[in-house]
């Protein structure tokens, strides 16, 4: 395999960097730079055994995830150290080929496939059929950051086309949990099909990003190869404890989806009132606007941190965490928009 230069991908959540750049104390900021639920799952106390014992694959964790996601069974689920671990490892396990990836999507995919000597081609999500030269495709659904959503029927058609070529469709559903119809739209139940990989992450909807836990859902043979590549004990005991409780708390799921839907509507209304045309998921809103760099800077000088993208110029806003943060954000946004107009 040829040597590739290391590509460092920018991400949200870099609040210490913003604090240093703008000379504002870290704890004074409103961090809207991620799509992580600010009302995270209230994890019960971690038992001492979760710290003292090595994680045990026989603890039912994969089966718990299979039930929650609707996968065929536990053999089709592999816990990993955040979906990021799978994103970096999967390309080396797939035949080298041309991979279609949307130009504006989660930024770790293209570098990961390039490092494994795949060729990257732009994915046109408006097409019903994928070009014959494409062997693999990656779809983030809903997309991060644009919030675009593709229906399951189209994705399954694409999968059938790729599978007939010996290829693979990778569907990243990191933000799908926040929708009430998530279990109807997810492709998790179809992961008994060869050439389909679904990645899920409890970090976003459950607000457990610090647990560094994710799941790869696919045919058992591919998951065995991925497991061998990643090695043992990829998800720590305390993270397994937290995520198991989060998955099993069905009442919390329903209440939180309602809360996020209401807060997302509030965020969209706020942005529209300032003249923007946002696209949104329940966890973030995205605006494409040539003034995005100036707006990010104006907000940052008021201790509000957002995530900027450059092609096209755009900003992504997460949800404020409290009534006080909402008030501060509304004031800062009004002032910033007046400043850049």
**Residues 16-37: tens digit of each pLDDT:** 999 999 999 999 999 999 999 9
Domain match, 166 and 296 both: no
311 pLDDT more than 80: yes
Domain match, 138 and 217 both: yes
Find the domain containing 165 and state its range: 48-248
CATH number of the domain at 22, please.
Answer: 3.90.1150.10
Distance between CA 203 and CA 185 in Å, rounded?
19
pLDDT at 182: 56
Domain match, 68 and 208 both: yes
Distance between CA 289 and CA 310 in Å, rounded?
10
**Residues 276-304: tens digit of each pLDDT:** 999 999 999 999 999 999 999 999 999 99
5 pLDDT more than 80: no
pLDDT at 180: 80
Percent of the chain with pLDDT strictly greater than 90:
92
Identify whether the C-beta of residue 216 lies closer than 8 Å to the C-beta of residue 223. yes
Q: Collect all residues with Cβ–Cβ distance below 8 Å to 180 and sequence separation of at least 6.
A: 254, 257, 261
Boundary-marking domain end, from 195, 215, 248: 248
CATH number of the domain at 225, please.
Answer: 3.40.640.10
Identify whether the C-beta of residue 289 lies closer than 8 Å to the C-beta of residue 314. yes
Q: Which two tokens stand for residue 176?
A: 């799908």
Residue 278 lies in a domain: yes
Q: For all residues of the chain together, what is the average pLDDT?
A: 95
What 179-183 contacts at long range (C-beta under 8 Å, 24+ apart), as own/partner pairs, is 179/257, 179/281, 179/282, 180/254, 180/257, 180/261, 183/69, 183/70
Identify whether the C-beta of residue 18 lies closer than 8 Å to the C-beta of residue 267. no
pLDDT at 1: 44
Boundary-marking domain end, from 221, 248, 275: 248
Q: Which two tokens stand for residue 258?
A: 């309602």
Task: Note if the bond before 149 is cis, omega within 30 degrees.
Answer: no
Domain match, 135 and 154 both: yes
Boundary-marking domain end, from 193, 222, 248: 248
Domain match, 33 and 88 both: no
**Residues 167-208: tens digit of each pLDDT:** 999 999 999 999 986 555 799 999 999 999 999 999 999 999
DSSP for 226-265, written as a single string: HHHHH-S--S-HHHHHHHHHHHH-HHHHHHHHHHHHHHHH
Q: What are phi and psi of 304, to 5 degrees?
A: -120, 120
Domain match, 122 and 62 both: yes
Domain match, 158 and 53 both: yes
């Amino acid at each position: 395999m040829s040597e590739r230069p290391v590509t460092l991908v920018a991400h949200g959540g870099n609040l210490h960097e913003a604090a240093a750049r703008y000379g504002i104390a870290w704890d004074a900021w409103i961090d809207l730079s991620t799509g992580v639920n600010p009302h995270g799952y209230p994890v019960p106390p971690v038992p001492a055994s979760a710290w003292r014992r090595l994680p045990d694959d026989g603890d039912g964790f994969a089966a718990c995830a299979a039930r929650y996601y609707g996968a065929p069974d536990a053999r089709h689920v592999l816990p990993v150290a955040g979906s990021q671990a799978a994103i970096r490892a999967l390309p080396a396990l797939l035949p080298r080929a041309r991979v279609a990836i949307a130009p504006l999507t989660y930024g770790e995919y293209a570098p990961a496939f390039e490092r494994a000597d795949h060729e990257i081609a732009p994915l046109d999500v408006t097409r019903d059929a994928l070009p014959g030269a494409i062997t693999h495709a990656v779809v983030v659904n809903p997309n991060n950051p644009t919030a675009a959503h593709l229906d399951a029927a189209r994705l399954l058609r694409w999968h059938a086309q790729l599978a007939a070529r010996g290829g693979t469709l990778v569907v990243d559903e990191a933000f799908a949990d926040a929708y009430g119809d998530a279990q109807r739209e997810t492709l998790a139940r179809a992961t008994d099909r060869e050439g389909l990989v679904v990645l899920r992450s409890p970090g976003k909807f459950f607000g457990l990003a610090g647990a560094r836990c994710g799941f790869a859902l696919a045919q058992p043979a591919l998951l065995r190869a991925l497991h061998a590549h990643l090695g043992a004990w990829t998800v720590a005991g305390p993270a397994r404890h937290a995520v198991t409780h989060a998955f099993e708390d069905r009442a919390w799921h329903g209440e939180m989806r309602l809360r996020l839907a209401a807060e997302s509507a509030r965020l969209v209304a706020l942005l529209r009132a300032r003249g923007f045309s946002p696209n949104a998921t329940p966890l973030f809103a995205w605006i494409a606007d040539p003034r995005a760099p100036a707006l990010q800077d104006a907000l940052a000088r008021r201790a509000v941190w957002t995530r900027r993208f450059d092609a096209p110029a755009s900003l992504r806003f997460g949800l404020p965490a409290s009534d006080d943060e909402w008030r501060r954000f509304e004031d800062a946004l009004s002032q910033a928009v007046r400043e850049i107009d």
